[in-house]
Amino acid sequence: MNNQPACVTLRSRLLQLPSPIIIGVSGDSGSGKTTYSNGIRRLLGDDIVKTIELDGYHKEDRDQRLLSGRLPLDPDANYLDLLEEHLRLLKQGKSIDVPIYNHGTGKFDSPRSLAPSPIIIIEGLHALYPQLLPLLDFSIYVDPDHDVKWQWKYERDVKKRGHRAEALREEMLKREAAYKRWIDFQKTNANIVIKIFHSRLQEFSRHEFTGQVPGWCYKVELIVEPASIPLPTLPLPFDFAAMLAAHQPPFMMAAVPCTYWGRPVTIIHIDGVLSQQTIAELEAQIVAYTGIPVDEALGSSINPQEFEQVSATQFAQLLVTWRFLEQVNYRLFEAIQKEELKA
C-alpha cells in the first residue's frame, strides 16, 4: 500500500487552513513539557509546527529575580497580556516578535520574528491560563509526581543549565506553594492531562517480583477527553504467547472511563516496556496516516535493548500525538464545512 498520499493530503490540508491551530502545553518547570511538544513537531514537520516558549514573557531576568524575590510562577511576573495579543495577531495571520529568554545566560536575547504556521505550540507555566483558553484549539497539561519532577529538574538545571545545586533546592522548596497557587489548577481545563510516576509494576506482583524495569521507564496516566471526530482506528496488537515467556519485560495497560472535574474522560494507564512486534505494527499504522516513521517522532531518546523498543513514557507520547491529530481532523472538518456554506 502506498502511504504517501495520506501524508500529502494531511499536510496540504493543514497548509490551507485560514488560521493556525494553537496548542497550549502547560505544567511546572522541568515537568517534561518539551517532550510532548517535540513529539507533535517531529510527527508533522518543522515547516508545519512552530513553538513559542513562554519563558520569554517573564518580566525579570535571573539576576533581577534574585533581587526582587519574585518567582516566574506568579502570573503578575509575566507579560500575559502581551502573549494574549500575540496569539490574536497569529490567529489573524500576522507576524509577531517573540521575546526570547536565554537559560544559559539568564538574560533576555533579542526577539525573533515569527510568522504564522499551520500549527503553533505555546509551551510554558501559564499556557492554559483562563484569558488564553479562548485562543487555544487543544490543551495539554504535564503533571509528573513530586519525586519525578524534582529528579528531572535537578538533572536539567544543574547538569545542563549550570545552576548551583544548593540554590536550586532552595528555589524548589520556595516554589512548592507557588505552584499549587498559580499553576496546578490549569489541568482542570486540559484536553489531556499527563501524570508521570516511578514504575509501579512491582505492586502487581503478589510474590517476589522478578521482572526487570529499566531506570528510564515510568508509569504514565493519560487523562484523555473524548474526541469530537475520531481518526481511523489504531489497533494495538499483543502477542499473548510472548506475554507468558519467562524473560518477557513487564508491561501493563488499562483504559478506565470516569469523570474528571465534571467532564467524561478515559484514563489510560501505561507502565513498563512494549515488545518490538507490537511497536512495529503500531509504526506501520502511524506511517500510513502521517508518512513519518515512529523513530523520528520519538527522536534519539529510544534506548535499544535486547527485547525492548519503547518505554511507557515514549509510547504515551505517541498516544498524545494521535489524540492531537484527532483535534486537527476536527478543525479541518470545520474548515471544509465553512467553505461549503460560503459556496
Q: Rg (Cα) of the chain, in Å, rounded? A: 21
In this prediction, residue 201 carries a pLDDT of 87
Q: Indicate yes or no: pTM above 0.85.
A: yes
pLDDT tens digits, residue range 17-73?
A: 889 999 999 999 878 888 888 878 877 778 889 999 999 999 999 999 999 999 999
Closest CA to 201 of 146, 254, 257, 145: 254
Average pLDDT of the residues in 324-341:
81
Higher pLDDT, 244 or 305: 244
Banded pLDDT at 1 (limits 50, 70, 90): very low
Tens-digit pLDDT profile for residues 78-87? 999 999 999 9
Residue 165, CA distances (Å) to 70, 154, 157, 170 in order: 20, 7, 8, 9
Q: Which helix (H) or strand (E) holds 279?
A: helix 276-290
pLDDT of residue 87: 99
CA distance 66 to 271: 40
When pLDDT is averaged across residues 95-102 and rounded to a whole number, the result is 98
* Alpha-helix runs per DSSP H in 144-205: 146-154, 165-182
The grid cell for 331 is: 478543525
- The domain limits of the chain are 17-341
Looking at residues 260-283, what average pLDDT do you find? 84
CA–CA gap between residue 37 and residue 27 (Å, rounded)? 12
Type of residue numbered 124: G
- The architecture (CATH level 2) of 17-341 comes to 3-Layer(aba) Sandwich (3.40)
- Provide mean pLDDT across the span 184-199: 95
Give pLDDT, residue 2. 41
Q: Percent of the chain at pLDDT above 70?
A: 85
> For residue 149, what pLDDT is reported?
83
* Among 166, 163, 245, residue whose Cα is nearest residue 211: 245
Q: For residue 227, report the phi and psi dihedrals to the nearest 5 degrees.
A: -85, 150
